[in-house]
Amino acid sequence: MRVSGANILKRMWTLQSAINAEMAVLMGFIIGDIYPDIVEYKLGKKQGQTGCIIKGRLLQVQWAKIDGVHVFAGEDHA
């Protein structure tokens, strides 16, 4: 997803730090402008195969938990 907005970016970096530390991260969000994109896998068991991914724009982060603990809740508009 494409992320825009200073508040959303700040929160995403907080979550990325937790992911890097191998903590469990769960979040609720709203995305817009969703579209499929065809890709060719470059690595792994599916190397050389064609697949589909979903792309979009992150509009709101509604809530997030790190290791089961709420770290924030609320609305951020992009």
Q: Where are the domains of the chain?
A: 2-73
pLDDT of residue 23: 95
- What is the CA angle 3-57-41, rounded to 5? 90
pTM for the model stands at 0.65
pLDDT of residue 75: 53
8 within 8 A of 75, measured Cβ to Cβ: no
pLDDT of residue 7: 78
pLDDT of residue 76: 46
Residues of the chain with pLDDT under 70: 74-78
User: In residues, how long is the chain?
Assistant: 78
